[in-house]
């Protein structure tokens, strides 16, 4: 790898990357950090998204293919000391790879332009780990887009990016959309809007999920506000067959999304 090892945590390059751990600076610089080999691998697949890559010597040995790919694409690769990587990492045990990436979200109109059949909407979701896991589940279920409303967590939060395990780079992601505007446009595109809520009148067993569907998922602690429930076409709950009190947000979202995906694929 060309160049000497970065060891000064106060160097301009390290400070410029480190500031991206704060949402205000991510928005200002239009950049974010993607940490770990899977996130870096997926980011590198998109042209022009990865701006630079920091790697420890150990990570360079463990993932030479990522270093090679980055250099072939003209992405500057900086070897970083363990101390520098600890400054950039937002995990207890850094994985030795951190990429600086451009923001990848798209406007709502663009995300819905191709007549989507399955969309996940996160309304008032605040936990970044849950949000990232919902993105991953939506990606796995073949969803066409994920919408983060204006009251939800930043999908570029480090924990959210890690929890998505690269799915942030796989499907259109919308951020900052008002719930009412998102619901209106989804309905205009012909999607049935279902609110997932534990107090829903109907269960997944009761509703027809074979058509284009958008699922709204709410806050981990208090669910969806009444005004959001009122805007949905129906309020649906995941049936509990055992003795568990409830499912957490990410698990319930995965069940709902896969139920739609399976229903839409029945011959």
pLDDT tens digit sequence for 69-128:
999 999 999 999 999 999 999 888 889 999 999 999 999 999 999 999 999 999 999 999
Residue with tokens 């939060």: 157
Q: Which of 90, 84, 21 is nearest to 57 (CA)?
A: 84
Please report the pLDDT score of residue 61 as a whole number: 96
Residue 39: CB partners within 8 Å, gap ≥ 6? Answer: 99, 161, 162, 164, 165, 166, 168, 169
Residue with tokens 């936990």: 127
CATH number of 12-102: 3.30.1330.30
Please report the pLDDT score of residue 1 as a whole number: 42
Please report the pLDDT score of residue 91 as a whole number: 87
Residue 110: CB partners within 8 Å, gap ≥ 6? Answer: 172
Please report the pLDDT score of residue 2 as a whole number: 46
Which CATH number fits the domain 108-264, given the four candidates 1.20.1630.10, 3.40.1280.10, 3.40.50.920, 3.40.50.1820?
3.40.1280.10
Asked whether the beta carbons of 157 and 39 are under 8 A apart, the reply is: no
Please report the pLDDT score of residue 4 as a whole number: 82
Domain boundaries, the chain: 12-102, 108-264
User: Percent of the chain having pLDDT more than 70?
Assistant: 99
- Residue 117 to residue 267: CA distance in whole angstroms: 16
Cα-flanking dihedrals φ and ψ of residue 188, to 5°?
-60, -30
Q: What pTM value is reported for the model?
A: 0.93
Q: How many CA atoms lie within 13 A of 46 on its CB side?
A: 20
Asked whether the beta carbons of 223 and 130 are under 8 A apart, the reply is: no
Residue spans of the chain under pLDDT 50: 1-2
């Amino acid at each position: 790898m060309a160049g000497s090892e970065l060891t000064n945590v106060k160097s301009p390059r390290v400070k410029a990357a480190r500031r991206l751990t704060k949402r205000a600076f991510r928005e200002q610089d239009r950049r974010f950090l993607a940490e770990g080999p899977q996130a870096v691998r997926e980011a590198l697949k998109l042209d022009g998204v990865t701006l630079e890559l920091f790697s420890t010597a150990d990570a360079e040995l463990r993932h030479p293919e990522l270093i090679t790919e980055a250099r072939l694409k003209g992405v500057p690769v900086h070897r970083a000391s363990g101390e520098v990587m600890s400054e950039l990492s937002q995990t207890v045990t850094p994985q030795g790879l951190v990429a600086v990436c451009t923001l990848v979200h798209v406007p709502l109109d663009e995300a819905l332009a191709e007549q989507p059949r399955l969309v996940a909407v996160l309304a008032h979701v605040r936990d970044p780990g849950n949000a990232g896991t919902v993105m991953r589940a939506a990606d796995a279920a073949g969803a066409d887009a994920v919408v983060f409303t204006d009251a939800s967590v930043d999908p570029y939060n480090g924990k959210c990016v890690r929890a998505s395990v690269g799915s942030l780079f796989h499907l259109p992601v919308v951020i900052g959309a008002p719930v009412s505007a998102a619901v209106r446009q989804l309905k205009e595109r012909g999607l049935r809007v279902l609110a997932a809520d534990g107090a829903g009148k109907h269960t997944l067993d009761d509703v027809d999920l074979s058509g284009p569907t958008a699922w709204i998922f709410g806050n981990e602690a208090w669910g969806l506000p009444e005004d959001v429930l009122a805007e949905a076409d129906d309020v649906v709950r995941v049936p509990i067959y055992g003795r568990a009190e409830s499912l957490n947000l990410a698990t319930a979202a995965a069940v709902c999304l896969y139920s739609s995906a399976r229903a839409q694929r029945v011959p």
